[in-house]
Structure 1
Amino acid sequence: MKPYNKNLKQPSRDLRNNMTDAEQLLWQRLRRKQILGLQFYRQKPLLNFIVDFYCPTVNLVIECDGGQHFTEDGLVADQNRDYALSELGLRALRFSNHQILTETDAVMEQVYYIAKHRLEFPSCET
């Protein structure tokens, strides 16, 4: 099990109950093992973060980024977060909310491709 801050348990529950439209749409396509039979979790605490979606089998994190992520501070914070997650062997995929809402099939194809590659080549960096 990956390390997490126990203090993030309740905030994580709150986020699951208040998902954005983009998160809801993506969750409809990830839940119930629809991609390669893989189990995804939503709003999962990892380290000192709460990631939007997480698949432990392929060490994959998916982030839905709203406008705050495209500010200078947001970009730096995301870069630091992605680095910390990569130190645990996790691969973070980032999609803008707009991209998820308007290019859902393309987003899902990319998730499928990365997940499939990580299943086939677990030690490879993708």
Structure 2
Amino acid sequence: MNETLTHINGIPIHRNFIEKLPYNPHLKNLLRDKRKAGILSEVLFWKQVRSGSFYNIDFDRQRIIGNYIVDFYVKKLGLVIEINGWSHGKKQIYDEERQKYLESLTLKVFIITDFDIKNNLAVVMKDLERFIIEHYGF
């Protein structure tokens, strides 16, 4: 039986915790560097979701999953949030491989652009609400 994590717009959102995700310890130093970098779009998004401020959902920032460092991860949903900046136009194959890998672990991936976070943050947050309702709501 699925346990309810929270409610969004009156719709119960059910937990989807994925146990024992692969972890590459060799990425720890890179992880520390990425956290210190303070990329503006990540900081803006983090301010919207940290400390359970988005429907009391706990988000992790910069999480190692396999050989990837994802921008944000919601453990209780099995949800990855990736912010794609201008450089991702040149990394399309990498991004597709990353997404296929994450989805092979039964994770859901929500992708946002750096531009949208900086220019349409309210819309991004509504889109995230809809995504969560669509994939985890009952």
2:83 corresponds to: 64
Runs of 4+, deviation exceeding 2 Å: 115-121
Between structure 1 and structure 2, the one with the greater Rg is 2
Q: Does 1:4 align with 2:37?
A: no
Q: Does 1:114 align with 2:131?
A: yes
TM-score normalised by the chain length of structure 1: 0.88
> Could you give the per-residue CA deviations for residues 102-123 of structure 1, whole angstroms, max 9, x where no partner exists?
00011111112222343325xx
Measured at CA, do residues 108 and 53 of structure 1 come closer, stay the same or move farther in structure 2, by a change above 3 Å?
same
Specify which of 91, 100, 116 is matched with residue 99 of structure 1.
Answer: 116
- Conserved? CA contact 1:65–1:94, under 8 Å: yes
Unaligned runs of 5+ in 2: 1-19
Measured at CA, do residues 117 and 58 of structure 1 come closer, stay the same or move farther in structure 2, by a change above 3 Å?
farther
Distance in 1, matches of 2:133 and 2:36, equals 29
- Conserved? CA contact 1:40–1:53, under 8 Å: yes
Q: Does 1:89 align with 2:112?
A: no
Q: Which has the higher strand share?
A: 2
RMSD: 1.3
Specify which of 34, 48, 51 is matched with residue 29 of structure 1.
Answer: 48
Distance in 2, matches of 1:53 and 1:95, equals 11
Unaligned runs of 5+ in 1: 122-126
> Could you give the per-residue CA deviations for residues 52-93 of structure 1, whole angstroms, max 9, x where no partner exists?
00001111111111111112xx11110010000000111111
Structure with the greater relative contact order (CA < 8 A, sep ≥ 6): 1 or 2?
A: 2
2:38 corresponds to: 19
Q: Does 1:49 align with 2:65?
A: no
1:124 corresponds to: none
TM-score normalised by the chain length of structure 2: 0.80
SS of alignment partner, residue 31 of structure 1: helix
**Count of matched residue positions in the alignment of Structure 1 and Structure 2:** 119
